Amino acid sequence: MPPLVVLADQIEKSFGTTHALRGVSIAVPEGEILGVLGPNGAGKTTLVRILSTLTKPDAGRAEVAGFDVLHHPHEVRSRIGLTGQYAALDELLTGRENLEMIGRLYRLSKADAKRRTSELLERFRLTDAATRIVKTYSGGMRRRLDLAASTSAAPPVLFLDEPTTGLPPRSRLAMWALIEELVAGGTTLLLTTQYLEEADQLADNIAVIDQGQVIARGTAAELKRQVGGERIELTLPAGSDLAAAARILIAQGGHEPQIDQEHWQVTAPIDATPGLTTTIAAELHAIGIQLDAAALLRPTLDDVFLTLTGHVATSEDESTPEAA
Amino acid sequence: MSSVTIDTPSVVAARSAAPTRSGFGSWFTDTAVLVKRNILHIIRTPELLLDVTIQPIMFVLLFRFVFGGAIAIQGTSYVNFLMAGIFVQTIAFAMLWSGVLLANDLQKGLIDRFRSLPMKSWTVLAARTTTDLFRSMLAITIMIAVGLAVGFRPDATLVGWAGAIGILLLFGFALAWIGITLGMTVRTPEAATGAIFIFVFPLTFASSAFVPTETMPSWLATFTEHQPITLVINTVRAWMLGRPAGGDAWAALFWSVGILVVFFPLALIMYRKRTTD
């Protein structure tokens, strides 16, 4: 088992009467990606700020790269990269100047900072914009530059706090590709997100956090299993014999089919095997029933969240304000 | 393969450099890097220099020509008397301004980035005050040039000049920490600006900056003669005009160091308080 690089043990933090974190424990082994998933206000940012030494916990213990965040913040800081929710860049400096400055502050020599900056601009596809001041950058470019800045010193641990919140879908996909590239190099990553899809896409393990507590953890697959496996949904022409279709589903391994008279649908949990829908279509055809549509439904993390918390994750909100 | 590996030579250098470079050397480098950043800001927003360029020129010209004829000074010309006052007033404003500029910086996410980096928290403050010392030096240069053009005839030795500029910058540096304490205490940069005006205007006008203190009512003269701005002005004035400054010089030095001793730690505490949650 690889060593734990990020460790939080029963972290508590309150702001006045607001309990942001109520005993959160997480552990990320070396080289893994933990997705911390939760809606706005769940405590994700507070957790990242504590792990990156920006905020002191009220109780609990946190270690990053083998150092206690309270007692050795300096040691922690030289081993982490942080990309906060709002792009932490100097608006009046150019992209290149920003990266060189951060590189120097990570204690790279002048020559190394220059060399590293050129590499990063290239990798994050910002070479063309390198001499423009950041004020003129688009949201997606800012996020890329911010991420580049965080990786200036190639830190072994990276914290990304909602790296794609507020980005248009295309920029989001570009960020995902960059993040995947980064961690392919062995970086340990803790990523927070309110996008269920994002955690599913990027994270090895997911901790679902709600109102300052971890309410579930596991791989995306494990979490999905908690709300049941796959289901098949058959849509038939109006007037079809739904009961007959249900019997066919049972014969194919479906459990307790649900019949929806209104939409002329039959659904049932089922273990999807290759060719399953083709077989079902053929059997229906044999008893004279046409199939309008057959869909295999995999539970989304949205379903997971709903099952776990009883309320919908108020995410997917494109209007989330960008950094002012 | 399109995937990019992270371990390039400069990265390896970064990893091995991180633990070894610490202490004074790295603090100095960090400060220099941030001073460079502040100077780039000034280059890109030249209006940040108004308070150390146009404003002092305006004051020199207005006081020289509006009041100069009406105010008679024993033993020297009004402009010779005036310049020390303008110097101190300008430096006081410029250095207290540090707090506003810092408060402005704090409104942005960048400060979180700085705090997550392996540098001392007060490096940001050191860079801010150092930059403002450079701004002050620019202001002094401009004021000397404008003063000379309108009849300022200093009579200082090289030592006198060094002493006068030295005490100006030391006093200004001390005021910067008051400015930062103020900037970190009030909630917005606008409020900090207001507070600075309320602080500096009475203190510079109720001083020996523009008129001799003898004509003031005795209660005011007593205050005026003992407050630090007067003491610094008297010292700068004496040295620039080639006279001995006497006890005022020691008092000015005492005040400058005293302010530093009190406000340096206070500014640091307020900054930490403001940036930690």
Distance from CA of A105 to the nearest CA of B (A): 6
Residue A252 belongs to a domain: yes
Rounded distance between C-alpha atoms, residue B95 and residue B87, angstroms: 12
Q: Using the structure block, give the residue that is written with the tokens 């697959």.
A: A221
Asked if A217 and A205 count as a contact pair (C-beta separation under 8 A), the reply is: yes
- For A80-108, give the secondary structure using H, E and C: EEEECCCCCCCCCCEHHHHHHHHHHHCCC
DSSP string, B135-193: HHHHHHHHHHHHHHHTT------HHHHHHHHHHHHHHHHHHHHHHHHHHHHSSSHHHHH
Residues A262 and A213 in one domain: no
Domain ranges for chain B: 42-275
Residues A18 and A142 in one domain: yes
Rounded distance between C-alpha atoms, residue B256 and residue B91, angstroms: 13
Higher pLDDT, residue B6 or B32: B32
Model confidence, pTM: 0.80
Q: Which residues contact A305 (CB under 8 A, 6 or more apart)?
A: A37, A196, A208, A312, A313
Residue A313 belongs to a domain: no
What phi and psi values does residue A231 have, to the nearest 5 degrees?
-130, 155
Interface contact flag, A84 B5, Cβ < 8 Å: no
Q: Which two tokens stand for residue B244?
A: 């001995």
Q: Which two tokens stand for residue A271?
A: 């273990």
Residues A85 and A198 in one domain: yes
Rounded distance between C-alpha atoms, residue A206 and residue A217, angstroms: 6
Higher pLDDT, residue A303 or A264: A264
Q: Using the structure block, give the residue that is written with the tokens 């997100």.
A: A193
Residues A211 and A85 in one domain: yes
Domain boundary residue, one of A193, A225, A257: A225
Give B10's strand partners: none
Averaged confidence pLDDT in chain A: 87
Rounded distance between C-alpha atoms, residue B93 and residue B185, angstroms: 18
Distance from CA of A103 to the nearest CA of B (A): 9
Count of C-beta atoms within a 10 Å radius of residue A221: 10
Q: Which two tokens stand for residue B270?
A: 């307020």
Interface contact flag, A187 B6, Cβ < 8 Å: yes
Rounded distance between C-alpha atoms, residue A315 and residue A312, angstroms: 8
Residue A315 belongs to a domain: no
Rounded distance between C-alpha atoms, residue A34 and residue A217, angstroms: 10
Q: B interface toward A at CB cutoff 8 Å? A: 3-11, 13-15, 17-19, 21, 26, 29-30, 33-34, 36-37, 40-41, 44-45, 108-119, 276-277
Asked if B266 and B249 count as a contact pair (C-beta separation under 8 A), the reply is: no
Asked whether the predicted pLDDT for residue B2 surpasses 60, the reply is no
Interface contact flag, B110 A56, Cβ < 8 Å: no
Residue A320 belongs to a domain: no
Question: Can you tell me the mean pLDDT for B256-277?
Answer: 91
Q: How buried is B48 (Cβ within 10 angstroms: 0-12 exposed, 13-18 middle, 19+ buried)?
A: middle
Residue among A54, A107, A182 whose CB faces B115 most closely: A54
Residues A203 and A237 in one domain: no
Q: How many interchain CB pairs under 8 A, A with B?
A: 123
- Structural domains in chain A (count): 2
Task: State the CATH number of the domain containing residue A198.
Answer: 3.40.50.300
Rounded distance between C-alpha atoms, residue A152 and residue A167, angstroms: 23
- Alpha-carbon Rg for chain A, nearest whole angstrom, is 24
Residues A250 and A203 in one domain: no
pLDDT tens readout for residues A172-225:
898 899 898 888 888 999 999 988 888 888 999 999 998 899 998 998 888 877
Rounded distance between C-alpha atoms, residue A132 and residue A99, angstroms: 13
Task: State the CATH number of the domain containing residue A262.
Answer: 3.30.70.100
Residues A99 and A31 in one domain: yes
On chain A, the residues whose CB falls within 8 A of the CB of B18 are: 78-79, 106-107, 153
Q: Which two tokens stand for residue A119?
A: 């590499």
pLDDT tens readout for residues B210-237:
888 888 899 999 999 999 999 999 999 9
Asked if B27 and B127 count as a contact pair (C-beta separation under 8 A), the reply is: no
Residue-number span of the structural domain to which A235 is assigned:
230-297
Residues A208 and A247 in one domain: no
Interface contact flag, A49 B30, Cβ < 8 Å: no
Mutate to test the interface with B, among A47, A49, A58, A78 (most CBs of B within 10 A): A78
pLDDT tens readout for residues B60-87:
999 889 988 888 888 888 999 999 999 9
Residue A36 belongs to a domain: yes
pLDDT tens readout for residues B138-160:
999 999 999 999 999 998 889 99
Rounded distance between C-alpha atoms, residue A93 and residue A137, angstroms: 11
Interface contact flag, A53 B45, Cβ < 8 Å: no
Reported ipTM: the value is 0.83
Asked whether the predicted pLDDT for residue B8 surpasses 90, the reply is no
* CA-based nearest residue in chain B for residue A15: B277
Domain boundary residue, one of A225, A241, A269: A225
Rounded distance between C-alpha atoms, residue B272 and residue A162, angstroms: 26
Mutate to test the interface with A, among B2, B10, B27, B114 (most CBs of A within 10 A): B10
Distance from CA of B143 to the nearest CA of A (A): 29
Mutate to test the interface with A, among B24, B35, B116, B131 (most CBs of A within 10 A): B116
Q: What pLDDT sits at residue A314?
A: 52
Asked whether the predicted pLDDT for residue A11 surpasses 80, the reply is yes
On chain A, the residues whose CB falls within 8 A of the CB of B116 are: 52-54, 77, 80, 82
